[in-house]
Amino acid sequence: MSLPKQADDAITFDTFMEGVWRQNPVFVMILGMCPTLAVTVSAENALSMGLATTFVLVSSCLLVSMVRNLVPKEVRIATYIVIIATFVTLVDYLIQAVSLKLYEALGAFIQLIVVNCIILGRAEAHASKNPPLKSVVNALGMGIGFCIGLFALGATREILGAGKLFGVSLFGEHFQPWV
Amino acid sequence: MVLPPGGFFVLGGWLLLFSLLRSRKEARAEA
């Protein structure tokens, strides 16, 4: 059984901006709070986590949208998780290969992207009902919105906590770190 | 793993800021 096709397949500016601003996953929908609060101790960690999630989100939404008419409704969630897990494994090995320090800083939260509500929510609510290109545009907006949210938190915490941004000291050597 | 401190307060601060901006925008629209 295939999922019903949505009548409106047009890609508008709102398709992209929905996730960036109006339905921002961090500030409006309050989704993905576990990685949001845990890894945003610095701007670098926050941005890395945001980019990793964006990659998984866009790739999995593309694939979910492409197979939406082939997957039986009863096993769709299991299929989504397998698709998402595939891309999470890619990101996991990629970060491990590029920067071991970053990999250790992000910890288990890279693997936990598999169960991120933003990704499962997008796959179920949007990608499974829309054509691939529209799903990718929407997922990209949502990913950028997530990056903005994480960066806002990470940058604020790094500036307040260590007086730095991306490791660069902002207030000189007399700044007393809060943490 | 122990969660680093400050996250809840910073997130709360951002949410308060956006809430304030939204209420000001709505007040301006009503006026």
Cα–Cα dist A62/A173, whole Å: 48
Q: Is the pLDDT of residue A1 over 50?
A: no
From the list B1, B5, B10, the residue facing A153 with the nearest CB is B10
Q: How far is the alpha carbon of A38 from chain B, nearest alpha carbon, in Å?
A: 6
Two tokens, residue A11:
């890609």
Q: Is the pLDDT of residue B13 over 60?
A: yes
Where do the domains of chain A lie?
A: 19-169
Q: Give me the residue label for tokens 């604020």.
A: A156
Two tokens, residue A59:
């790739």
The ipTM (two decimal places) reads 0.75
Quickly state the pLDDT bin for A162 (edges 50, 70, 90).
confident
Contact B15 A27 (CB under 8 A): yes
- Global pTM? 0.86
Q: How far is the alpha carbon of B23 from chain A, nearest alpha carbon, in Å?
A: 15
pLDDT for A97-120, tens place per residue? 999 999 998 988 999 999 989 999
pLDDT, residue B4, reads 55
A40 shares contact with chain B (CB less than 8 Å): yes
The SS3 call for residue A9 is coil
For A46, residues 6+ apart whose C-beta sits below 8 A from its C-beta are: A39, A40, A150, A151, A153, A154, A155
Q: Is the pLDDT of residue A159 over 70?
A: yes
Cβ-Cβ contacts under 8 Å between A and B: the total is: 38
